[in-house]
Amino acid sequence: MSTSLTVTNLCKQFEHRVVLRNVSFSVANGHALVVTGPNGSGKTTLMRILSGLMLPTSGAASLEIDGTVVDFDERRREVGFVTPEVHVYPELTPVENLKFFHTVRGLEWDEAEAAHWLRRVGLDARRDDPVGNFSSGMKQRVKLICALAHHPSLLLLDEPGANLDERGRESLSGMVEIQRKRGMTIIATNDPKELTLGDEIVALRA
């Protein structure tokens, strides 16, 4: 499967404040791109637009799979998104969180694959514990597998290293490598350790 993302002259304005101005870049299948920039430069806004959660004021962000543009309704199935704004459910276990996000996307549930992902991030021994009892780093690992377990064409990671311990950072690096075999990754970060995860860097200005 061939995937690509093309962003062309993307702009976003909230009333009189311009957050993004004429942002353009492209990402090809098997590649990872890092978006950097100071606070207020629009990194999170850009990621929300790419995920389909927000519309741009002008410009376009076109996700294509095998030459066909993915429409808005289908984009949620093709995108995995990790962001501080999206939370896992504390009263649910890691397995129940995974199952919930699969159901929301209209996907079939696979118990064996869920077990596989929990092992990858070192949470298999806590699979039946409520996520509310987890440390912040463990919760972030649950968010990572919830975003990746449905095999998205485009993986969006907004400040993914926040609260991650060393084990979590290893999991993050491994997941970016897994995604290279399936599609594309865009990482919004200013963390020097995460800059090395990308093949290219796009720098936004405040």
Per-residue pLDDT tens over the stretch 137-195: 899 999 999 998 888 999 999 999 887 888 888 888 988 998 998 899 999 999 998 99
Confidence (pLDDT) at 169: 86
Confidence (pLDDT) at 152: 92
Confidence (pLDDT) at 84: 84
Confidence (pLDDT) at 91: 97
Strand 58-65 to 32-36 pairing:
unpaired
- Domain extents for the chain? 30-52+73-203
pTM of the model: 0.92
User: Please, what is the angle between helix 94-104 and helix 111-120, to 10°?
Assistant: 120
Confidence (pLDDT) at 168: 83
Q: Count Cα neighbours of 181 within 13 Å in the Cβ-side half-sphere.
A: 6
Superfamily per CATH, domain 30-52+73-203: P-loop containing nucleotide triphosphate hydrolases (3.40.50.300)
Confidence (pLDDT) at 49: 95
Which is nearest to 50 in space by CA: 107, 106, 6? Answer: 6
Tokens 């920039």 locate to 37
Which is nearest to 33 in space by CA: 198, 194, 190, 203? Answer: 198
Confidence (pLDDT) at 154: 96
What is d(CA 191, CA 178) in angstroms, rounded to the nearest whole number?
21
Confidence (pLDDT) at 10: 97
CA 144, distance to chain mean position in Å, is 8
Amino acid at 24: S
Which is nearest to 15 in space by CA: 59, 49, 57? Answer: 57
Triad 134, 135, 140: Cα angle to 5°: 90
Tokens 């492209």 locate to 26
Confidence (pLDDT) at 204: 96
What is d(CA 145, CA 193) in angstroms, rounded to the nearest whole number?
20
Q: Is-contact 57 8, C-beta < 8 A?
A: no
Which residues of the chain are modeled with pLDDT < 70?
none
What is d(CA 84, CA 79) in angstroms, rounded to the nearest whole number?
16
